[in-house]
Structure 1
């Protein structure tokens, strides 16, 4: 062997020895793409890169956020030790001091004001194990009824609508692999190209196969460009549009009468109402021509298979539940559900938006999608937890309503885990004042977020690279996120923090876990027999099968690829159509002389939620350094707005200042602002506090606003 060859093999061996590979999953959207972090040591410096890993959902793909996720996890601003507010400054303290202080304050407040003086605010970005444990922590360790989570601001409308209509909510009723084979699709209020980029190849393949795509959005986006028909709807008129489409299908006799008769309730009531509607009024209210309405209705109803996908565009409204149900009426009336290549997909936003809403973080829920008001459900969970059923607290209130309870002096303290409500909630000026009013605030986070800055104690948690556990992705596939990266500093896993606080409160016997897998084993028992049944899923199975679709009631079950093939999840096996009247949600904001423009909000590809993580990534932050207002040039001219200049945007709730960005494709009566920024760029300052009566979703997608140029 020559010297040159020896050097080659020696260099290769040294490189391999200096390289470490960490299996993990992207911490961002609900695709939960599998990936690996490659750590290479070059001299005394380490450098990192992320590559995709094959899996059933994203098939090895990554988007720009996933490729750069490690930048925020390894950022120098990561919290690495507990901090306590002393004389209005944060000072480092030991874990013992932090936990002792929390225990003492919690006991004092409950002794003086009762058990419900404490509250818990959770997250849809934590693992199933931690979501499950957080619900148990609230109800067993704290014995409070006040727990809810930030998923209330994202997926609540779709979840509630699916539960009412079908009797079960699992995001996708079919697997993601059926998308390329369906003949027609409606994308209602979803910009998947920017929000879930790695799902787009499924839709592109569908296009190649001849599928017809109908997109509903007041803006032209990367997603609407994929569509064969873009319905540029007037904000807030989605129910009118859905009703109008079904009205045309009924009039043209394009419905599936056999399916309706055998598998649904209340169609006759819906039909009678829809036929009473005036087509010209539908056109006027939606801004969609009768020709386009006829085209969309005829194509969707005529094809042998079809799917409807919804997301925040139609869900984040104060009539969001009714809006989703109006679209589900179309699926049911055309028989396009419970069969191959036909079904419903709620495009979940947050990383564990599906799993986090299944296992007890919601005010009205217990693990396994059980109801906290159902005696049998309460009895089952009490037995698993080893407590008396009567000791389980009752139903609390939704996420935003907890801040109203603070204002009313009902809640005195809040424990916030991995969420930033002072930025993410509507009417954020009010939310900030409510948090400042608390007697004691504890925040668990990776960074000193806007919410953490208001806390009395901040506890450092671990990132997706360090924290093992399961996540449930957009199609209802439970996946095991491996995490072997060394924990940074003195941070602890969320579940460890909960166990230590519970132990100090004298409830350690209920929180004896030594690993995430031990928690999952209890979650399996708690979910057994429930709607979201994970009993047949184990860590071993997840490693071998790369994910399992729930419900999976036994270890021998294969997981459920397609829901509702024989019956729906209601006791009689039938789905419930909804008589959704046009005036549903009439208290939604209306444009007027003072506030003449529709304001809608959304995401950009390079950022996620409040931006607290993605703005720590230099590669992502450089793509969108600030918020902006997307506005039609003619509208801008009308109000004296110049291109690329600062604009003051005002609603009844407040004002912000953002930079103008002209677009010829947005409706002239509509402006768009992304929600990933804070302080004077936080668009949620402008959003009102009205809530959907069914699910308590705020109306992020429709506010009334005015604009004016900022004088220099």
Structure 2
């Protein structure tokens, strides 16, 4: 295993940053000398000063080193022989990938191979993964788990503003807001080091409005809590705006000079009955009115959304209807104002900018735009016509695997058998593959199914850049040598590309070489990183994009003068999408999901941390006590939750602060406790986000 240098006293420390959420808190990991009788090192972690988290670090960051130094880390490639995964050399592993990828291409064409990435990969690896798929494999099929995280907000921001960046403002602007709407986001548990910004805003007199079917730890700080029925977020946003318009709480000057579509929006709002909207949303009309008056009357304000709003079959439009609130009130492009999509994954922002998404090329360019294709092809030294076209979304790749159109899959930095909706189908689809290769630190649920498993380095061993939720690019330096034969993910991609005869396109001596190519590939794009260098990041600590110039800072506060659309005007919307029809007699409850403080994504890393696992050792279902009594469920007993897609089992947990028609289950467990066995695969037509947050289910106790 990788070891830290042992000294007689606490060493100065390893300067790194947390591998988990999108804040990307900087921190220092220290090790002290062993006491007499101790057999293991003792680690001490403390936050390091930085602009984003201001020296704070949460419980996940404090214990992240535990998975990095865990005894279950993979240290050599594993190949499946006669049903078992056994160690093999890198030479054999790379050779097997070359052979099997070529076999798939010979049988099905280049699109017989597919690549599945992750939102926790560094910018360099995300960039290289997209290049690997399109240049080394020549396939159109590449997507990533960020499709399940940020795609609705990303497409909504692009359609509304002409640009997608997690926050249109700086984190330091939050305390300047007089009213903040937090819709479908539980910051207190998902990004806890950000909570002090909101507490500071409250200290300054700000009002907080939380929209969530549960009374979460975040809702506990709210001045107004709107417990919306899952699936009705867009309608709730419309009701708030209708009241604002009726009370004259809109900025006519801003609307006239910087937006389009407002007259159509007013006509649309005229057709909405507030009484009916309140009943459908399951929220008292007076509370909706209070929220509207509060937000509308505030001089400054922000709207922040997360997966609660976005992971819907109408997630794209739900976000856009909340953006209508900002545009109508003129609360965008100035201090204390703006929109924030609270990114989930560590590099959820950068991961969707540089080419591992099915429709994108580096710099947030479109793979279907001829000028974009020509520019990137020139940087890569290939003909534009050789670039594949647009692929499909992550779940749609699973459907193509199930139908036999894709026969080989390369997974890097993800665990799709757990994270996809309709997980039972996905597991059966992956079993049909001729060849599945997984690059991971541990034997995840997906890796256990693989024909080949490749050991990769952890956050403390693998350097590179990551982009936090506010669009600030940060440099994470490698600090520790890899354990055993584990390799950096970018090194693996280069080795396979070389073996497949594409080595001339993958000549990098280190990770900084990749970043310098990324800078050029992103130049003049929406996400322009050209002016960002490793030297500047070391000196300045972090830089916002867009940053087109080497001698100027990046842009922290967006849209101060205009929007990056052809006419410079932001766009209102009146489009409506699928409305969640809700429960049925057979499936009378709505299942929704989310995170808990101690765990992250599918738990592959956090469940290897004894300190984090001890906080939540198994999955659970939150259910209102009245609902539990109705269905004969006792507090703490095992229950079976069933939808038309499938079923899973977890332990019940009574919760007064949840709607009586809703149950909540965290997303961090696989196997029999995987809630995605019951989630529905309906996809948003705009961004292909699955409808994770609404599934009609039944609940029954499991008793002998």
Q: What's the TM-score, normalizing by structure 1?
A: 0.97
Mapping 1:75-154, distance limit 5 Å: 75-154=70-149
Q: Please say if 1:585 is aligned against 2:578.
A: yes
Distance in 2, matches of 1:21 and 1:697, equals: 41
Tell me what 1:342 maps to. Answer: 337
Shift of 1:410: 1.1
Tell me what 1:10 maps to. Answer: none
Tell me what 2:612 maps to. Answer: 620
Tell me what 1:595 maps to. Answer: 587
Q: Please say if 1:697 is aligned against 2:692.
A: no
Q: Please say if 1:531 is aligned against 2:562.
A: no
Partner residue of 2:661 out of 661, 664, 669 = 669
1:35 aligned counterpart, secondary structure: strand
Distance in 2, matches of 1:682 and 1:422, equals: 10
Q: Is the 8 A contact 1:22 1:483 kept in 2?
A: no
1:15 aligned counterpart, secondary structure: coil
Tell me what 2:636 maps to. Answer: 644
Tell me what 1:8 maps to. Answer: none
> Which shows bigger deviation, 95-104 or 41-50?
41-50
Q: Is the 8 A contact 2:7 2:32 kept in 1?
A: no
Mapping 1:133-282, distance limit 5 Å: 133-282=128-277
Shift of 1:37: 1.1
1:42 aligned counterpart, secondary structure: coil
Q: Please say if 1:431 is aligned against 2:423.
A: no
For residues 449 and 261 of structure 1, do their structure 2 counterparts lie closer, same or farther at Cα, with a shift above 3 Å needed? same
Distance in 2, matches of 1:236 and 1:679, equals: 27
Partner residue of 2:8 out of 4, 15, 18 = 15
Spell out, residue by residue over 1:239-285, the C-alpha distance to the aligned partner (whole angstroms, 9 max, x if none). 11000011111111111111111111111111101111111111110
Q: Is the 8 A contact 2:278 2:284 kept in 1?
A: yes
Partner residue of 1:634 out of 612, 620, 626 = 626
2:111 aligned counterpart, secondary structure: helix
Spell out, residue by residue over 1:413-441, the C-alpha distance to the aligned partner (whole angstroms, 9 max, x if none). 00000100000000001111111100111
Shift of 1:158: 0.4
Distance in 2, matches of 1:671 and 1:457, equals: 38
Q: Please say if 1:38 is aligned against 2:30.
A: yes
Tell me what 2:601 maps to. Answer: 609
Tell me what 1:291 maps to. Answer: 286
Tell me what 2:325 maps to. Answer: 330
Q: Is the 8 A contact 1:83 1:92 kept in 2?
A: yes
Q: Is the 8 A contact 1:215 1:227 kept in 2?
A: yes
Shift of 1:20: 5.3
Structure 2: tracts of 5 or more residues without a match = 1-5
Q: Is the 8 A contact 1:600 1:673 kept in 2?
A: yes
Distance in 1, matches of 2:662 and 2:646, equals: 18
Distance in 2, matches of 1:356 and 1:179, equals: 25
After TM superposition, where is structure 1 displaced by more than 2 Å over at least 4 residues in a row?
13-16, 39-47
Tell me what 2:3 maps to. Answer: none
Spell out, residue by residue over 1:492-551, the C-alpha distance to the aligned partner (whole angstroms, 9 max, x if none). 000000000000000000000111100000000000000000000000100111100000
Spell out, residue by residue over 1:187-217, the C-alpha distance to the aligned partner (whole angstroms, 9 max, x if none). 0000000000000000000010000000000
Q: Is the 8 A contact 1:589 1:703 kept in 2?
A: no
2:345 aligned counterpart, secondary structure: coil
For residues 391 and 14 of structure 1, do their structure 2 counterparts lie closer, same or farther at Cα, with a shift above 3 Å needed? closer
Q: Is the 8 A contact 1:239 1:580 kept in 2?
A: no
Shift of 1:45: 4.4
Distance in 1, matches of 2:220 and 2:504, equals: 56
Partner residue of 1:465 out of 460, 469, 474 = 460
Spell out, residue by residue over 1:658-680, the C-alpha distance to the aligned partner (whole angstroms, 9 max, x if none). 11111111111111011111111
Shift of 1:112: 1.9
Shift of 1:105: 1.0
Distance in 1, matches of 2:288 and 2:597, equals: 30
Shift of 1:40: 2.6
1:214 aligned counterpart, secondary structure: strand
Distance in 2, matches of 1:90 and 1:14, equals: 38
Shift of 1:119: 0.3
Mapping 1:412-423, distance limit 5 Å: 412-423=407-418
> Which shows bigger deviation, 63-72 or 480-489?
480-489
1:284 aligned counterpart, secondary structure: helix
Distance in 2, matches of 1:47 and 1:519, equals: 35
Tell me what 1:455 maps to. Answer: 450
Shift of 1:589: 5.4
2:276 aligned counterpart, secondary structure: helix
> Which shows bigger deviation, 344-353 or 260-269?
260-269
1:250 aligned counterpart, secondary structure: helix
Distance in 2, matches of 1:138 and 1:683, equals: 31
Distance in 1, matches of 2:155 and 2:288, equals: 27
Aligned alpha-carbon RMSD (Å): 1.1
1:403 aligned counterpart, secondary structure: helix
Distance in 1, matches of 2:342 and 2:549, equals: 27
Distance in 2, matches of 1:46 and 1:277, equals: 63
> Which shows bigger deviation, 125-134 or 480-489?
480-489
Tell me what 1:29 maps to. Answer: 21
Distance in 2, matches of 1:519 and 1:300, equals: 45
Tell me what 2:380 maps to. Answer: 385
Distance in 1, matches of 2:291 and 2:435, equals: 54
Shift of 1:39: 2.2
Shift of 1:291: 1.1
Distance in 1, matches of 2:43 and 2:334, equals: 45
2:257 aligned counterpart, secondary structure: helix
Q: How many residues align?
A: 696
1:659 aligned counterpart, secondary structure: strand
Shift of 1:42: 2.2
Q: Please say if 1:50 is aligned against 2:45.
A: yes
Q: Is the 8 A contact 1:50 1:67 kept in 2?
A: yes
Q: Is the 8 A contact 1:589 1:704 kept in 2?
A: no
Shift of 1:14: 6.4
Distance in 1, matches of 2:587 and 2:7, equals: 66
